[in-house]
Amino acid sequence: MTVSSQVAIEDTRVWLERAVIGLNLCPFAKSVHVKGQIHYAVSRAQSAQELLKDLIVELKELLALDPAARDTTLLIAPDCLADFLDFNDFLADADQALLDLELDGVLQIANLHPDYQFAGTRADDITNYTNRSPYPTLHLLREESIDRAVEAFPEAETIFEKNMQTMERLGLEGWAALGVGCSPGCPHDSPDGAAPATVPGNIER
């Protein structure tokens, strides 16, 4: 089973509003969200090769548009790379695409996944949830926008540490209460809204 593109976008928007912005995991997200500068794209790819093609299209479109109209893109992939290790392996191809398009240093690709796991952590460690989105997602960002955001937030280097503290205070029950998982029918659907605790070991990117 899978979900419609509309549902995938809505789930991702709810996660952004309640978790990323609501918990202030990314101090830069609220501004582009309020201004409508986030583009939600859904790839119906069922393989890494198909997703790579969609990624290249979205990278080119983001570069071609005025940042005032589209500052960043969330490319959501509900139909493939459900296994985090497969997703992690795919990121090398994503980075190579940036190099092939000569966009390294111009655009950046961040990664989010329902089963994200930092190196050296347990699968159910709450700190992993800072990077756990409802669906496998590639976040395409402009380097110039990142630089401006960092300049406006002088303590940007403390964001990671503060996020870890926020998640420790929240706990797994608190995260589940946010209701930011995927909709019923997706590969990561679970009754308590939390990701499964049997995630394979991971390599942090």
Q: Determine the pLDDT at residue 156.
A: 75
- Phi and psi torsions of 175, nearest 5°: -65, -45
Is 54 part of a structural domain of the chain?
yes
Cα atoms found within 13 Å of the Cα of residue 47, Cβ hemisphere only: 3
Is 98 part of a structural domain of the chain?
yes
Question: Token pair of 106, please?
Answer: 């111009």
Q: Are strands 137-142 and 72-76 parallel, antiparallel or unpaired?
A: antiparallel
What would the pLDDT profile of 150-168 be if each residue is shown by its tens digit?
888 777 778 999 999 999 9
167: containing domain: 5-178
What would the pLDDT profile of 34-44 be if each residue is shown by its tens digit?
999 999 999 99
State yes or no: pLDDT of 196 exceeds 80: no
What would the pLDDT profile of 70-93 be if each residue is shown by its tens digit?
999 999 999 999 999 999 999 999
Q: Determine the pLDDT at residue 25.
A: 94
Number of domains in the chain: 1
Q: Using 50, 70 and 90 to split pLDDT, how confident is the model at 64?
A: very high
Q: Which residues pair with 137 in a beta bridge?
A: 76, 112
Is 195 part of a structural domain of the chain?
no
CA distances, 63 to each of 13, 38, 59, 73, 105 (Å): 22, 14, 6, 11, 12
Is 39 part of a structural domain of the chain?
yes
Q: What is the mean pLDDT of the chain?
A: 90
Is 203 part of a structural domain of the chain?
no
pTM value? 0.90
Is 197 part of a structural domain of the chain?
no
